[in-house]
Amino acid sequence: MAMTLPTLLEADSQDEPHYWASVFSGHAYIGLGPWGLVAIYWNMWDAAWLVPLVYLVCWEGLQFYIAKRRTWALFWDCLLDAVAVAFGCYAAACVGNGLKTPAIICWTASLVVMGVGWRQRS
């Protein structure tokens, strides 16, 4: 029997804890591309708040809008995806400005969120 990937735009698709944790960390990493582009043209701190906000409104908002079932679970999933992007952007801005301790705290906080999500789903 072939394994099928969960359907995108359904919060239930991330019930498997390892899948959820990897998707959360993937969002933190994905945010670095747009963050870098915005940081080149403006600055790292503006990019750290602007990219997650635009991501939440444009990308996650669009996903929520076109979803067949708009549930609270999907809403929270969209919000957590944007939080993951924010973690990645803020940590990158900290590293770019030589603030090692805040960057470590930020990445550790993202691991805590990932661990709580993983535990809730297992």
**20-24, 49-53, 91-95: which range is least confident on average?**
20-24
Give yes or no for residue 119 having a pLDDT over 80.
no
Percent of the chain clearing pLDDT 70 (strictly above)? 81
**30-34, 46-50, 101-105, 117-121: which range is least confident on average?**
117-121
Average pLDDT of the residues in 26-52:
92
Per-residue confidence band for 1, with pLDDT thresholds at 50, 70 and 90: very low
SS3 42: coil
With CA atoms as reference, report the closest residue to 39 among 48, 29, 30: 48
SS3 18: helix
> How many CA within 13 A on the CB side of residue 120?
11
Please tell me what DSSP assigns to residue 97.
T
Q: Cβ(89)–Cβ(51) under 8 Å?
A: yes
**Residues 6+ positions from 102 with CB-CB distance below 8 Å:** 94
Q: Determine the pLDDT at residue 76.
A: 81
